[in-house]
Structure 1
Amino acid sequence: MRVLVADDDALARTGLRMVMSSDPELDLVAEAVDGTEAVAGARRVRPDVILMDLRMPELDGVRATRRITSQDGAPAVLILTAFHVDAYVLDALEAGARGYLLKETAPRELIRAIHVVAGGGSVFSAPITERLVHQLRRRGDDDVAQRAAQRLAALTERERAVAEAVADGLSNAAIAATLLLGEATVKTHVSRILTKTGSANRVQIALLVYQART
C-alpha cells in the first residue's frame, strides 16, 4: 500500500514515517512539504493514500486535495489536522477527502485509518465531527440546508436510514447490526445513495446529512 505524506512540519513527517514503518503493508513512497509538491507527487508516484496536512505554504491542503481528487484514478486523501476545529476541514471534505483525523490519534488507529480509506471506506474523528456539525449549524444557511434536503429526498426510507448511520460514523458492519440488514445489503444501499445524491464518497454523504439537519 503506497502512501504519500504531505506536511510542512519536518518533525511531523518523521513521526509519521516511524508509525508507518511498523506496518509491513505500508510503503512510504514520497513526502511533500506543501500542497504543490503533494499534487506533483500524486501524479509522479501514484500513491494509494495521501496523508494531507491542511495549513501548508504555497498551496494549502484544501486546494491540493481538490486538484488531486479531480484526477482520474485519484488516491484517497486522509486529512490530518492538529486542530479540533479548523475552517479548512469542511472545505477539504467537500473537495473530496475521505476522512479526517487529529494528529494526536494513536499510531494503531492511524494505521487502521490508512487501510480503511485505501479500501474505499471513510474515517471520522469524533471530536472533529462534533465541531463540524456545530460549525454547519452556526452557518445557518437555509439555501444549503434546502438543497441538501432536496438531494436526500431522492432516497428511499431505508436508504435515508443508512445515510443517517453513515453520518453518525458507523461502519457497514455496525449499520448492518443496527438496522438488522446483511452487510452486503448495506453496501448496496451506500452505493445507491452515492449515485442518487451525487456524492463522491461516504464523507460527502455525511456532510449532506449534516447540512440537511441544520
Structure 2
Amino acid sequence: MKTDDLIGLLAQDAGPVPTRTGERRFALALLVGVALALAWVQGAFGIRSDLAEVMAMPAFWQKVAMPLAVAATGLVVVFRLGHPGARMNGWWLGVWLPVSLLWIWAAVVLWMAEPGARIPLVMGTTWRVCVFNVTATALPIGVGLLWALRGLAPTRPVLTGAAAGWLAGAVGACVYSLHCPEMAAPFVAIWYVLGMGMSAALGALAGRHWLRW
C-alpha cells in the first residue's frame, strides 16, 4: 500500500476536533480538585468559625495575595506547557515574582520587628504541620491537573508536572488558608512556599511517569 493511500485510509473517518476541549478539561479538573480540597480541609481541620470577620481584614488578603497571584499566572504556564511549541512570553516571571515580593516583604517585617518577636513571626504556632497540610490540600488539585494534561500533548513531562504541582500548591494554599490561623508574612514566606515546593516536587515525579507519550 502506498503512503498516500494509507494516509487516506486513516483519515477517511476523521471528524472535526472539538473546540475548547483543553479548556474544559482544565476547568473540570480545577472544579473537582478544589471541591475535594475544600472537603478535606473541612473534614480534617474545619473552616475557621470567624472566617467572615477574618476576610474583612487586610492581613488575610495580604496572606493569600502570593498564592492567588501564582495560581493566576501558573494556570497559563501549565496550559501552555501542555501544547507543544507554545511560548511562555514572560509568563514564567509571574510564577516567581509573587514569591520574590513576599520574601522581600517578610524580610522587611523581620527587620522592623523587635528581636524577641522574630522567631514567633517565623514559626507561628503551626509550623510543624503547615507544609504537610498545604501539600495534602493540594493533592486532589494536582491529580486533576495531571489528568487534564494527559489529554493534551506536553513534550516536557517533568517540567510540566512540576509546574502543575506548583500551581496545585498555590491553589491548595489558598484553600488551606480558610483554616490556617497564621497571618504573619515571614510564616507564609517560609512554610506556605515550602508546601508549594513539595507539591511541585511530587508533580515532577508524577509527570515523569504519567505525562510521557
- TM-score when normalising by structure 2: 0.28
Higher-strand-fraction structure:
1
- TM-score when normalising by structure 1: 0.28
Determine which structure has greater relative contact order: mean sequence separation of CA pairs < 8 Å that are 6+ residues apart, divided by chain length: 2
Higher-helix-fraction structure:
2
Q: Which is higher, the Rg of structure 1 or of structure 2?
A: 2
